[in-house]
Chain A
């Protein structure tokens, strides 16, 4: 089996996967803070979700527990729903304000 043969040469410590996951999450937070386009801010949220998913899969692999993978499955489904609704909201906002810059969408700011 092909995948099993890949696992024969396995010597990557799991902490590397967790470090990669933490790095992806932090890059998502940075993107959320510094990006000024509504769509790109939304993409940064997806990047954070992906980083968290990677650590779920890593822990599921470490403890041979299938629950972690199921968690990732549910996160994917919720992310799909969130993306559909969020992008519809972005379209509605663009229709109302004719801009995607987050600095100009400040109606609800004090």
Chain B
């Protein structure tokens, strides 16, 4: 059961990621990224991270990708064109990335005590996670909320400044 679910959603993940690369239109890339993120949420659920699966769907597949699709539609992004730079990057980059992937794969497959580690019974529950998050790591949590506030203000300021300059110029 676990194996079947893993294979199905790992396949969805890889297919979505590859589709993101080969599609030329940004909106199709955004939709395939949503497929990747939703499948990753299922994989988190298989690994016993229920809270993260929910957060992945809400934050990533929900909030962030809605933002992406809004921007793609707002800017009326068209098909990208292949240029000299992209061809050079493809020619040089693909072998390098294949080498890097092979290196990581050999390290992972030769890692001690990892390849034999099957899935365990016990699940770290959301309760454990929140206990640690709100006792030991309370300060980083609050700092993160300040960070998000600053990011909101920064985003509004960046997006508004162009409009203000536009009206001043008229």
Contact surface of A with B, Cβ cutoff 8 Å? 3-4, 6-20, 22-24, 26-31, 33-37, 39-40, 42-44, 46-47, 50, 53-54, 57-58, 60-62, 64-67, 69-70, 72-74, 76-85, 87-92, 94-96, 100-103
Contact = CB atoms under 8 A, between A and B. Distances in A.
B129 A27 contact: no
Given A84-B67, A84-B151, A92-B161, A61 B47 contact: yes
A12 B128 CA distance: 25
Interface of B: 1-3, 5-6, 10, 13-14, 17-18, 20-21, 26, 29-30, 33, 36-37, 40, 43-52, 55-56, 59-60, 63-64, 67-68, 71-72, 74-75, 77, 80-83, 85-86, 89-90, 93-94, 97, 100-101, 104-105, 108-109, 111, 114-124, 128-129, 132-133, 137, 140, 144, 147-148, 150-152, 154-156, 158-159, 161-162, 166
A9 B43 contact: no
Contacts, number: 266
B151 A30 contact: no
Given A37-B26, A64-B120, A6 B5 contact: yes
B71 A39 contact: yes
> Looking at chain A's contact residues, is the secondary structure mostly helix, strand, loop, or mixed?
helix
Contact of B52 (A47, A72, A102): A72
Given A24-B14, A36-B85, A81-B147, 4 more contacts: A7-B2, A30-B94, A34-B89, A64-B120
Contact of A39 (B26, B104, B144): B26
A36 B144 contact: no
